[in-house]
Structure formats: structure tokens, C-alpha cells
Structure 1
Amino acid sequence: MDLNQWFQKGLTVDEYINAMTTNKEEMLTIYKQFTLTDEDKNKLEALRPQKLRAIVLSEDWCGDAMLNNPILLRIAEAAGMEVRFVLRDSNLELMDQYLTNGTSRAIPIFIFINEEGNEIGVWGPRAPEIQAFVMEKRAVLPDKDAEDFQAKQTELFKSLRATYQTDASIWETVATSILETLLK
């Protein structure tokens, strides 16, 4: 399938949100609280004539999707960009074309396409600064063989989720990173 076909296959924003069983309220809270700057809105307004679209490889259980997807939705609104969600786990054929570091099925992945269905940019699964932040936090985890590894990792993930939901500076970092991809 080409990217236009994948886009058509994807769920609309409402379909995706209505089908969510995990992280729905958390994602919607970020969506309601996050706003773009006027400067960013003006930059995105200039993209409207290009009629860009976004394919989002995602799953509702993913903490990074909980953080990044609502920010993308605000960006898409300002740019007049239609967004469709393609669920990673049931669409590995597409996912495997967008592996992180050539090996990882990390999500979300945002595939930006033009009217003709040509890829004009890919973003994800994290802003570089957020990746560094997460790696810094993971670096203090015990070895995977340690008996407390699972508990410590679960604790870390809960802490990251809480930070993702409340730290507006993280939201700004994500928005800036997505904008850099879109405005190249």
C-alpha cells in the first residue's frame, strides 16, 4: 500500500479517541491544557495551502503517544492538517518501514504527507531532548537481572507519565521538535 492508502485506512481523530481504553483522559487533559504560541500558530497557518496530512502510528497504551499525540493534534488544527491514526500492533507492514534505529517499533511515529501522498517528513517517537531525559532516568535503573528491576522500572514509568501530564515545558519541547520537522 502507498501512503495515501494507509492514510485512508487510518482512524479519524474521533474514531481513535472513542476507541481508546487506556490513557484517554490523560491524553485529553494534555490536549485541553496545551496551547501553541501565536508565533507558532502563524508559522503553521502558512502551511495550510500545502494541505498536508499526518499518519500517526500509535497505540493508546503508549505513554509517549499520550504525550505527543495531543500536541500533534493542536499543531494539525493550526496547520489545517487532517490526521489519521494507524494502530501499530495490527499494521506491522507500515510500522516496519519506520523503525527507530532500524530495529525498534517505538511509537508514536508521525508520517507527514502532501496531497499526492509523498512523504515530506517523519517525526517520532520522542523529541531528542525528551529521549535524553528518559535515557538519563533509565540509566539509574538496576541491571535487568536484578530482582528489583521490574519494580524500579514500573516506578520510573509512573513517574514519567506524571511528568508528561503536568510539565508544560515538556509539551513545549515536543511542539518545537515537531515544528522543526514540519517547517523544514
Structure 2
Amino acid sequence: MSLLDWFQKGLTYEEYKGQLKVNLTEMNAIYEKFEVNDERLSALSGVATKVIVLTEDWCGDALMNNPILMKIAEKLGLDVRFVLRDSNLELMDQYLTNGTARSIPIFIFIDDEGNEKAVWGPRAAEAQNLVDNWRAELPAKEAEDFEEKQKAMYRKIKQTYVEDTKLWNAVANSIITKLETQK
């Protein structure tokens, strides 16, 4: 399938939110609070016209990144469609992180003909650094308390993603910078 076909297969933002069961409240909270006020946006019109978002409801990174993308897309007039990763591995496997991981979300920016213009995801560098630092604090996987500490880490990540407005701005900056490099 072409990227344009994948785009047309995708869900609108409202359709995507309508099927969420895990992170809807948190995603809506970020969407309501976040404002993108980056002067660089005006120079980005025409870089792309559409975005395919590979995502899933359960993904903590998606709960933060997707609403930020939507705010950017609204400012740029981009049409966004959401494609669920787990039921669309054919597309996901074309956008593996480090060539091996099915990490999400992945934002695929395309033009009206379906030509790929930019790809972003799954995390801004600042978010990756936080996650890497917290993972480094975990005990070995064989440790008796590994699972408990890993769950606590996931809760900490989620809370940070929902509350840290500086991190939201870092994500927006990362997406905008990626689009700037494609001009």
C-alpha cells in the first residue's frame, strides 16, 4: 500500500479518541493545556499536507506526543490520521526504531501525492534521556523487585509526561526542527 492509502485508511483525531480506553483523560488534559507558540511554524507551511500517526492507546509516549502534534498540525493546517500499530504491522515494520523496535508513536509527514517528507518519533531527545536515566536505575531483570520497580518507573514516566510543560515544549521543538530540516 502507498502512504496515501495508509493515510486514507487511518482514523481522524475524533475517531481515534473515540476508541481510546487507556490514556484518553491524560491526552485530553495535555491537548487542553498545551499551546504551540513557535514563530518558526509560519515558515513550515507547505513542507507537508498530511500526517500518518502510528500509535496505540496504551502507549505512554503517544499520550504526550499525539496532542502536541495535533496542536502543531492545527497551526500548519495539516490533515492527521491515526493508524493503529498492532493491527498494521506492515506499515509499522517500515518505520522501526534503530531497525529493530516497533516503538511508537511515529509521525510520517507526507504531501498530497503521498510522498514522504519527514518522519519523527518515537521520542524527543529530552524524553529519551529521562527514560534512559530512569531505566538505568532499575535492578537487573532477574531481581525479585524488578517488575515492581519497572511498574513504578512507568507510573513516574506517565506522571511526568502529563505534568511537565517544559518536556511538552521540547517535544514540539523536536517535531518543528525535524520539519525544518525537510524544507
Into which bin does the TM-score normalised by the smaller protein fall? over 0.9
Match of 2:40 in 1: 43
Structure 1 residue 122 and structure 2 residue 119: aligned?
Answer: yes
Letter in 1 for 2:35: T
Which residue in 1 is equivalent to 2:141? 144
Match of 1:71 in 2: 68
1:62 Cα shift? 0.4
Alignment gaps of 5+ in structure 2 = none
- Superposition TM-score, scaled by structure 1 size: 0.95
- Pick from 98, 103, 106: which aligns with 2:100? 103
Local SS of the residue matching 1:83: strand
Q: Residue 135 of structure 1 aligns with which residue?
A: 132
Deviation at 1:49, TM superposition (A): 4.2
* Offset, 1:50: 5.0
Please name the residue that 1:169 is paired with.
166
Query: Which contiguous aligned blocks of 4+ residues in structure 1 show a shift greater than 6 angstroms?
Result: none
Matched, 1:157 2:116: no
Which residue matches 1:15? 15
Code of the residue aligned with 1:83 in structure 2: it is V
> What SS class does the counterpart of residue 121 from structure 1 fall into?
strand
What is the alpha-carbon distance in structure 2 between the residues aligned to residue 102 and residue 49 of structure 1?
29
Measured at CA, do residues 49 and 100 of structure 1 come closer, stay the same or move farther in structure 2, by a change above 3 Å? Answer: closer
- Give CA deviations for 1:18-55 in whole Å, capped at 9, x if unaligned: 11111001000000000012xx2x43234334551100
Say if 2:51 and 2:79, in contact at 8 Å, map to a contact too: yes
Contact 1:46 1:79 in 2 (8 A): no
Which has the higher mean CA deviation after the structures are superposed, 44-53 or 119-128? 44-53
Cα distance change on mapping 1:148 and 1:182 into 2, 3 Å: same
Residues 49, 109 of structure 1: CA spacing in aligned structure 2 closer, same or farther, 3 A cutoff? closer
Aligned to 2:28: 28
Contact kept? 2:47, 2:179, Cα under 8 Å: no
Alignment deviations for residues 123-174 of structure 1 (CA, whole Å, 9 cap, x no partner): 0000112111110110010000111000000000001101110110000010
What is the alpha-carbon root mean square deviation over aligned residues? 1.1
Q: How many residues align?
A: 181
Per the normalisation by structure 2, the TM-score is: 0.96
User: Does 2:88 align with 1:91?
Assistant: yes
Unaligned runs of 5+ in 1: none
